[in-house]
Amino acid sequence: MQNASRSSSSSFPEGIKNLLILNGLAFLAQVVIDGLPDLQGPLLQWFALWPAGTPDVVSTGQGMVAIPQFYPWQLVTMAFLHGGFSHILFNLYALFIFGVVVEQTLGTRRFLILYGVSVLGASLLQLATISAPYFTASGSVIPPPFPTLGASGGVMGVLAACALLFPRSEIYIIPFPVPIQMRWLALGYVALDVLGGFGATSDGVAHFAHLGGFAAGALLLQYWRGRLPIRPRARLST
């Protein structure tokens, strides 16, 4: 993607730089400790987001199987783990494309708060949807729980802020030859996630995490701008 009306500054914003470094180091640790594409290593078991309320072990055809547990820190740590090289590459590329102009507008402190709140919004909504009953009367897991991981929820919050701040700014999306306005791009992503989330598809995408991150980022930005019933002491001028 390429910004058609607004170019990135030559300076590299500190918030974006630190997030890229942290995600890169976490991915390197995954490769070294867990191995890829294995999604059952120790880092994933402790730091990816797992369903809440699951038993420690369940009985299967292969005997008793341990089930990874939910811990509160996973609401944050899941955003620094990824399922493969293409997964992290897409997320960090999108974070850079949308995040640079948002950080330059909000400042590093507010940008990092926005990203963190978006991650929490993504994790909480995803946790609520994946923690539905998974077990039969015999205690078997149907289907087996899988972890949620990736920076997509935080990125969606940044996308929401970018679309609200620069709704008519145009970008190119490869391979389409015509630009699209940020507001329509954001609405398009939301529509796809709504369809994917409520369509009960098994595409392996955490659609509700995307929606939670988008909603959290949008609400926080609108709060800062004084456009919600509850208003901040110092309103953001944009």
Question: What is the domain partition of the chain in residue ranges?
Answer: 2-224
At 7 the pLDDT is: 38
For the chain, which residues score pLDDT lower than 50? 1-10
**Quick one: pLDDT at residue 90?**
94
Interatomic CA distance for residues 118 and 227, integer angstroms: 18
CATH number of 2-224: 1.20.1540.10
- Residue 131's pLDDT is what? 83
Residue 56 is predicted with a pLDDT of 79
**170 φ, ψ to 5°?**
-105, 145
What pLDDT shows up at residue 202? 59
Contact 79, 154 (CB under 8 A): yes
pLDDT at residue 236, as a whole number: 79
- How many helices (H) and strands (E) would you count in the chain? 8, 5
- Can you give the pLDDT at residue 61? 66
* pLDDT for 49: 94
Q: Quote the pLDDT of residue 2.
A: 42
Predicted confidence at residue 231, as pLDDT, reads 77
3-class DSSP assignment, residue 180? strand
Long-range contacts made by residues 60-65, C-beta under 8 angstroms, separation at least 24? 60/140, 60/141, 65/141
Phi, psi of 195 (to 5 degrees): -65, -40
Neighbouring C-beta atoms of residue 56, cutoff 10 Å? 9
**219/217 Cα distance (integer angstroms):** 6
Q: How far apart are CA 211 and CA 192, in angstroms?
A: 10
- 63: Cβ–Cβ under 8 A, 6 or more apart, which residues? none
What is the rounded distance in angstroms from the CA atom of residue 123 to the CA atom of residue 154? 10
Q: Which residues of 125-155 are buried (b: 16+ CB within 10 A; e: fewer)?
A: bbbebbeeebeeeeeebeeebbbbbbbbbbb
The pair of three-digit structure tokens given for residue 92, joined into one six-digit string = 């960090």
Whether this prediction's pTM lies above 0.85 is answered by yes
78 vs 169: CA distance, rounded Å: 31
Which residue(s) pair with 135 in the sheet? 141
Chain centre distance of CA 81: 10
